[in-house]
Structure formats: structure tokens, C-alpha cells
Copies of this chain bind each other. A is one copy, B any other.
Amino acid sequence: MNASLTARQRARAELTREIKAEARRQLAEVGAPQLSLRAVARQLGMVSSALYRYFPSRDELLTALIIEAYDALGASAEAAGDPAAPVRERWRAVCHAVRRWALDHPHEYALIYGSPVPGYRAPEATVGPALRVPLVLGALLQESLTAGNGAAGGAGGSSGPEPPLPPVLAAQAATVAAAIAPDVPGPVLVRTLMAWTQLFGMISFELFGQLVGSADPADEFFGFAVEAMADFIPVR
């Protein structure tokens, strides 16, 4: 499929990949704030100014790495679990895949879910890749609902009545639903947002050291919470 490309174009694509790969390697070692264009160039045996043929600035290289990280995490969430398995089992698989990826790529995780790099503003192009994990969750919800076995019930199996959503939140839920899971009612969607924040909250706490002294190692805590969240959303 490179048949129609000139040697120059192929070389360019190749080197662009190599630059990103080397940058990712260094990111994994030293973290985003310390990532240096000059070090990347040095490692590739180039002079630092040569990188400017490929990325117009350090920020653009960072952006490329952010997109790659979102894509890698999104891909592992999408690939998680047997598509034929029950929804709940896939929920479990997705959560564990997300955590697995984060533990395996702590600096890349920090790049996308940690504190923003000061002075850096994420451009539009990162929005799509960032949505891949939420889209996976939305698809699970939607499927859970149309299979007629859950995702529309009361609050987490509670006996009490569902509390109504306040107006702004109801509108936000409707917008999200329209984008990722059209048939899912607002309250279920809001509970999913909660589970989403909790999923990443747990992973961040584990990775950033807040669980030291309590739920560390966090494997069982995480597994237990994943089940509880499934009950809470609910996903069946």
C-alpha cells in the first residue's frame, strides 16, 4: 500500500514513526515535563534542528504522544473481553484492561490523566481519541439495555425510588446519551459517569501513591470496586 509513495515519502513516514517511538521511550523513562527534543534527536543520531522537519515544536510532539496514548488505551479497552460474553463480564474486562494499561504505561497514563503540563493546551485533535474509552462504556450500556436485562432499573438495586436529576445535569446527560448511548435513560448515564470518574480515580490514586498504607497492593480493592460499580450502574 506504499506503492504510490516516493522513497522520500516513505522515509519521511518511517522517520516520523521512529521519532515518536523514541520520544515514547524517553517519556516512559523520565516523564513528560523532562521530555527533551534534543535528547530524542541525540538518541536517533540526528542533530536537534533536524526534528523540526517533522514536528514544528516540542508541543506538537507532545500532542502526537498524547494522541497515541489515548489511542493505545482506547484500543486495549475496545479489545477487552469476549464480544459474545455477557455485558457484565465485558464491563469487568474493560475495567481491568484500562487498569492494566495504566500500570504498564504509568508515564503515558500521567500524560493524559495526570495534571496538565503547564502552558500546554490540548488541541482539538486529541478529543476524538480521548473519547474511545467513554464510547466503549457507552456501547456496553446501550447493549445492556437493548438486551432488556438491566441498565434501566432503579438506583443500583436500591429499594427506594430514583431521585430525579436536577435540570442542568439532566440536559448534560441527554447530550452525552445522544452521542454515545441514545436509548439509555439519564439517571443510568449519570451513574455511568460516576463509575467512569471512579474507575480513573482509583487508578490515579494507585499510580500516584495515595493508596500506600491502605489498599496497596490494590488488586483486590480494584476487583471488588469493579463489581460494586457494575451493581450500581447497573450493568448485568
Which residues of A are in contact with B by a Cβ distance under 8 Å?
Answer: 30-31, 33-34, 110, 113-119, 122, 127, 130, 134, 155-160, 163, 165-169, 172, 175-176, 190-191, 193-194, 197-202, 204-205, 208-210, 213-217, 219-221, 223-225, 227-228, 231-232
Contact A115 B118 (CB under 8 A): no
* Residues of chain B with a CB closer than 8 A to A210's CB: 113, 130, 200
Contact B159 A118 (CB under 8 A): no
Contact A214 B176 (CB under 8 A): yes
Tell me the smallest distance from the CB of A95 to a CB of chain B, in Å. 13
Query: How many copies of this protein are present in the complex?
Result: 2
* Residues of chain B with a CB closer than 8 A to A113's CB: 204, 208, 210
A217 to B201, CA, bound (A): 19
Question: Whose C-beta in chain B lies nearest to the C-beta of A187?
Answer: B224
Tell me the smallest distance from the CB of A221 to a CB of chain B, in Å. 6
A219 to B194, CA, bound (A): 13
Question: Whose C-beta in chain B lies nearest to the C-beta of A190?
Answer: B224
* Residues of chain B with a CB closer than 8 A to A201's CB: 197-202, 204-205
Which of A210, A214, A228 has the largest count of B CB atoms less than 10 A from its CB? Answer: A214
Contact B115 A31 (CB under 8 A): yes
Contact B122 A209 (CB under 8 A): yes
A176 to B221, CA, bound (A): 13
Contact B202 A197 (CB under 8 A): yes
Question: Which among B169, B175, B215 is the interface contact of A220 at CB below 8 angstroms?
Answer: B169
